[in-house]
Copies of this chain bind each other. A is one copy, B any other.
Amino acid sequence: MEPAASAPLACRTPLTAPALADAEAAALAGTLKALAEPNRLKILHRLASAAPDGVCVCDLTDPLGIAQPSVSHHLGVLRRAGLVQRRREASFAYYTLVPGALDRVAALLGERP
């Protein structure tokens, strides 16, 4: 608007702020990217609804309507993101939510720094 240096014009920049660091942005984006998929959201909802001691893969394949390798793939993504955990028993695999994980993400989105 007025006293700038050499720049031809500056609309204005009233703010300063730590500016979200690259590492934090990438980390949060990674977690959100794991969440941003319809089938994975359905999986999480299912695990949240009926997760006393876990849900096995065979109980997820039919409701989702996708092939079993795809279900395993999505579970792997959620597991690498730290959102779910696996408990192996015989030849079955029972998946459960990692307790505070979703709430932590929600808190990060809700906070207004």
Contact = CB atoms under 8 A, between A and B. Distances in A.
Residues of A in contact with B, size category: 35 or more
Interface of A: 10-17, 19-20, 22, 25-26, 28-29, 32-33, 35-39, 41-42, 45-46, 48-52, 55-56, 58-59, 63, 92, 102-103, 105-107, 109-110, 112-113
Given A20-B45, A35-B36, 10 more contacts: A14-B50, A20-B41, A25-B38, A28-B41, A29-B37, A45-B113, A48-B113, A106-B107, A106-B109, A106-B110
The A interface, classified by DSSP as helix, strand, loop or mixed, is helix
A8 to B, nearest CB: 11
A64 to B, nearest CB: 10
B41 A25 contact: yes
